[in-house]
Structure 1
Amino acid sequence: MTTKYTRGSFQLMKSMNRSIILNMIREEGPISRAEIAKQTRLTPPTVSNIVKELINTQFVIETTQGMSKGGRKPTLLEINADQFYTLGIDVGTFHMKFVVTNLFGDLKDVTSLPIGNYPGNEDILSIMKQGIQDLLYSGKNDPDKFLGIGVGMHGIVDPEEGISLFAPSFQLRNIPIKEELEKDFNMIVKVENDARTMTLGEYWFGNGNDADNMVGVNVGNGIGAGMMIKGRLFHGENSIAGEIGHVTIDLSGPKCTCGNYGCLQTLAAGPAIAERARKELKTGKPSIIHELVDGDFEKVDGQVVYQAACEGDEFSIDLLNQTGRYLGIGLTNLIHTINPKRIIVGGGVSNAGDFLMKGIEETIQSRGLTDKAKETSIVLSKLGEHASAIGACVLVLEEFFVR
């Protein structure tokens, strides 16, 4: 028993040390073996053996020599960023985005496929498989370079089993994403909620890389949040942590797809912005939107409202400011609940940028409990429209860099 336990512990420690060293090279490279040993407190022979293994597997390469402190110049190590790729998928309401990134999250390839009306489980899986095939076998990418596939799926997800438990935009349940994709493509597949993948992407490669306690809020056709606590995604007991789109903001508000009234997403998500615009325009409110849609209010969507705001339309500017105020109430609730260092706002609606931020900041200033709460950093996503898909790639990278 003792021998078995010791052997298992040694393999675990070796794996942990490997990840620690690999992550240090990723974050601080180019870096010398001696500096790695100093910072990790691992013995120089241990560091040398693991580095040799990492070089053999081509995750790490030796690069230009560092400054000498007397004696021979040290050879520095850095990540061999373009030797391996990951493939990330962001499952939206109307489109599925696919990206290929290297080990530093740099985009190497992008494609998008439409999602038809009322898709079934098989339709969603079929579109995923088609997009993956397109990127793996387009001739632009070497299929042997791919480490795995990450999927950011809206709604409730079981990340352990890789199942979409409930996708509200499609009213679909129990889509076996991990099982199906691993069977067809024979590589690791990780599945997570899209707001959490957005948060993960920003934490690794975006505006969250200096904040271990942060929240990413994905504002699109729905609203969801990813919560990062001490550098780890927080899921809650049943993987529903972060469903702030269904926090009640107005008891007398519009009915939500979840069946409740006045949820945040009925007031601040993309469809809510369009619905409020249509309703007020029909009462005769003056706006250049009338001309932009040729009087056809069915053509009014969030993008049209944003376009009008950019052209100085007071009606649209006020509408987006009000949307920001609704979002600000939701974000204030988050600040008072988990007190993050930073909140990053992403998703399609975040393209409205300054128009939204004005309302968000005003609300937090008026509702924040303390001066420190009011000073919480609120920023827009750095990774933009690809944040969730890039974050899905990070799900795979975590398997190699984090233990």
Structure 2
Amino acid sequence: MSYFAGIDIGGTNVEIGILNEAGDILGKKSIKTNSKNGAEDTFQRIWNTTKELAEELKISEDEIEAIGLGIPGPVVNNSVVKIAANFSWNNDFPAKDLMEKISGKLVKVGNDVKLIALGESLFGAGRGYKNSITVPIGTGIAAGIIVNGMILEGADGAAGEFGHVVVNKNGYKCGCGLTGCLETYCSATGIVREGKKRLEENQDNELYRKINGNIDSLEAKDIFDLAKSGDKFSMEIVDFFCEYMAEGIGMLLNIINPEIIIFSGGVAKARGILLEGVKKYLPKYALGMTMENLKFAFGELDEEAGIKGAAALVINKK
């Protein structure tokens, strides 16, 4: 029996799991990333924790066939992290080489969003589809694109960064350095920004009362919850969000022509109201033929998406 380690490295925490060939998580642990202590320290602690987990599961170290690492930032050749923005490490960070040196195992590294998409393709909502796009919506937004069963990486690992397509050249400055990126509108951060802007202009509404007038405490969930209940003020904010989202999805449809779009991440928990809004505006931005047989779904892997996606990188034999 072969086993695989799936490791989801975030700026704050690292989620570690051991999976079987079917993609079932047999056990998992979480540790602090503490990247300020250096990459070697972090990776050594990851491997030590993986070995501890294997021992608890009565799995020998030799039975761990390979390690999949998910990490934020563009990744080149399943090896080098071009921009390690969330960590106290240098860019062009050799993640694969370092983990292989420490573990003695085959290692593949992938961008966290792309690996969520691969995980959904193999084990979740994308099963049975050769061409799928997974769109996690959280603090930011990106697209994990699967074409003919394979992750679309791009020459420098930047494929799928549709959150940084400029949709308003006179819009907000984005953290990437561009102005008016889709992400500044279609993310938890974006909808909260729009909500705060409107609340500063109008306090006579249910949303203002829900947050007791504390505009700084506003969260995306507040807006979506009230919109679902029929609150006109909140519905208009969601509508604004959904039109920009439809513009972004329309670009993906026209370029990739997928069979299914899978929404995941925190904002996707809004479900129906998000999907209805996107579908309402999508005909303005997508070719009719790309929508004829298009399916929509919501991610099935939830909090296990990072671990399963990372493991999918080494379990996937395609």
TM-score norm. by structure 2 comes to: 0.86
Look up the match of 2:109: 191
1:333 and 2:251 matched:
yes
- How far off is 1:257 after superposition? 0.9
| Larger Rg computed on CA atoms | 1
- How far off is 1:371 after superposition? 4.4
Look up the match of 2:301: 383
> Do the aligned partners of 2:254 and 2:290 also contact (CA within 8 Å) in 1?
no
Within 2, Cα distance between the matches of 1:323 and 1:112?
34
> Do the aligned partners of 1:317 and 1:355 also contact (CA within 8 Å) in 2?
no
- How far off is 1:274 after superposition? 2.0
Aligned partner of 1:197: which letter? L
Alpha-carbon spacing, 1:166–1:309, altered in 2? closer, same or farther (3 Å): same
Alpha-carbon spacing, 1:293–1:111, altered in 2? closer, same or farther (3 Å): farther
How well do the aligned residues superpose, as a CA RMSD in angstroms? 2.8
Runs of at least 5 residues in structure 2 that lack an aligned partner in the other structure: none
Alpha-carbon spacing, 1:110–1:199, altered in 2? closer, same or farther (3 Å): same
- How far off is 1:107 after superposition? 2.4
Match of residue 178, structure 1, among 96, 112, 117:
96
Match of residue 140, structure 1, among 56, 73, 76:
56
TM-score norm. by structure 1 comes to: 0.69
Structure 1 residues 135-183: Cα deviation after superposition (integer angstroms, max 9, x where no partner):
43145333524222211222211134x2211144559622222122222
Look up the match of 1:343: 261
Look up the match of 2:80: 163
- How far off is 1:294 after superposition? 4.5
Within 2, Cα distance between the matches of 1:203 and 1:258?
28
Q: How does 1:100-139 map to 2 (within 5 A)?
A: 100-113=18-31, 120=36, 122-123=37-38, 126-127=41-42, 129-138=44-53
Within 2, Cα distance between the matches of 1:302 and 1:95?
23
1:322 and 2:240 matched:
yes
- Other structure's SS at 2:250 match: helix
Which structure exhibits the higher relative contact order, with contacts defined as CA atoms closer than 8 Å and separated by 6 or more residues?
2
- Other structure's SS at 1:173 match: coil
Q: Quote the sequence identity (%).
A: 27
Q: How does 1:210-289 map to 2 (within 5 A)?
A: 210-289=128-207
- Other structure's SS at 2:242 match: helix
Alpha-carbon spacing, 1:230–1:297, altered in 2? closer, same or farther (3 Å): same
Aligned partner of 1:223: which letter? I
Aligned partner of 2:56: which letter? K
Aligned partner of 1:230: which letter? N
- Other structure's SS at 1:190 match: strand
> Do the aligned partners of 2:253 and 2:290 also contact (CA within 8 Å) in 1?
no
Alpha-carbon spacing, 1:196–1:292, altered in 2? closer, same or farther (3 Å): same
> Do the aligned partners of 1:321 and 1:358 also contact (CA within 8 Å) in 2?
no
- Other structure's SS at 1:174 match: coil
- Other structure's SS at 2:145 match: strand
- How far off is 1:291 after superposition? 5.4
Within 2, Cα distance between the matches of 1:312 and 1:95?
37
- How far off is 1:367 after superposition? 2.8
97-106 or 133-142, which deviates more: 133-142
Aligned partner of 1:326: which letter? Y
Within 2, Cα distance between the matches of 1:268 and 1:336?
19
Aligned partner of 1:104: which letter? A
Runs of at least 5 residues in structure 1 that lack an aligned partner in the other structure: 1-57, 59-83
Within 2, Cα distance between the matches of 1:112 and 1:283?
43
> Do the aligned partners of 2:192 and 2:218 also contact (CA within 8 Å) in 1?
yes
- How far off is 1:197 after superposition? 0.6
- Other structure's SS at 1:166 match: coil
Within 1, Cα distance between the matches of 2:120 and 2:69?
16
Within 1, Cα distance between the matches of 2:3 and 2:77?
21
1:396 and 2:314 matched:
yes
1:91 and 2:19 matched:
no
Alpha-carbon spacing, 1:307–1:233, altered in 2? closer, same or farther (3 Å): same
Alpha-carbon spacing, 1:137–1:304, altered in 2? closer, same or farther (3 Å): farther
Aligned partner of 2:49: which letter? D
1:149 and 2:149 matched:
no
> Do the aligned partners of 1:320 and 1:352 also contact (CA within 8 Å) in 2?
no
